[in-house]
Amino acid sequence: MSFEQRVAQLLVEVTEQVLWREIQPWLRDRGHRIQLHCRVGSGRATHHRQQGARHSITYGRKMVASKRCPLQAELWTTAREIRARGYFRGQWGLAELLAHTCCHEFAHLVQSLNGWYGRGSIHNAGFYQILDRIHRSGSAQRVLEALLRAAQDAQLELGFLPPGAAARDTAPVPAPVRGQRVRFQYRGKLVSGVVTRIHRQTVRVENHGIAGVGYFRVPPAQLQLD
């Protein structure tokens, strides 16, 4: 089993052992009867999905590979969140980035129960209230500690690779997921937006600018991850 596969499996375990366990009283109080299935995906896609009372969280093997590379790690929304919102006191390495990834996906689960999804605005104020609470309450820190312990037990070193070393593992063509921030060139200008739909050949990106909302259909190969 590859390093990435084993690390992704640890993310599955700490999500269940920490976040899922700690939310049980909250679920009971509100009468939410849901199931959660966490799994490792073979690609890059990392997301929460819901079908009725069945929730799933997928951690992509290639997401782990990409986040191991310090230059690519910078490009992920989760890295930006840690820096911008001061999570883990703004200090982050691979372990913090992966622990926060668990918190980010779990915040989507809570968000879906709260019904705070808006079209094209998945990472909205309601989402960040939840994510802030996961960090403030100490849950995120417990995820990090559990992850570090599990990695040590499994003799996996959670550190960034030297720049360039991961290039072989991480395909340059990104597989975007819904809700992800991306950038692309449009008529000579760099446009940024949020992926709202994945089609077979293109993805739909929404851009909220001063002139209103713009919609674009962009081939995935032209996207830069934001």
- Chain positions contacting Zn ion, by CB under 5 A: 179
In the bound complex, what is the minimum distance in angstroms from residue 151's beta carbon to Zn ion?
A: 24
Q: Which residue is nearest to Zn ion (CB)?
A: 179
Burial-class residue 104 by CB neighbours within 10 Å (0-12, 13-18, 19+): buried
In the bound complex, what is the minimum distance in angstroms from residue 107's beta carbon to Zn ion?
A: 8
Name the E strands within the chain.
Answer: 35-41, 47-51, 54-60, 181-186, 189-198, 203-209, 212-218, 224-225
Q: Nearest CA to 63 among 46, 47, 77?
A: 46
In contact, 114 and 126? CB cutoff 8 Å: yes
**Which of 61/181 has CB closer to Zn ion?**
181
In the bound complex, what is the minimum distance in angstroms from residue 41's beta carbon to Zn ion?
A: 15
**Which of 117/160 has CB closer to Zn ion?**
117
In contact, 225 and 75? CB cutoff 8 Å: yes
DSSP of 117-133, one letter per residue?
A: --TT-SSSHHHHHHHHH
What's the one-letter identity of residue 8?
A
**Which of 106/150 has CB closer to Zn ion?**
106
**Which of 134/151 has CB closer to Zn ion?**
134
Beta-bridge partner residues of 205: 195, 216
In the bound complex, what is the minimum distance in angstroms from residue 104's beta carbon to Zn ion?
A: 6
**Which of 97/150 has CB closer to Zn ion?**
97
In the bound complex, what is the minimum distance in angstroms from residue 121's beta carbon to Zn ion?
A: 11
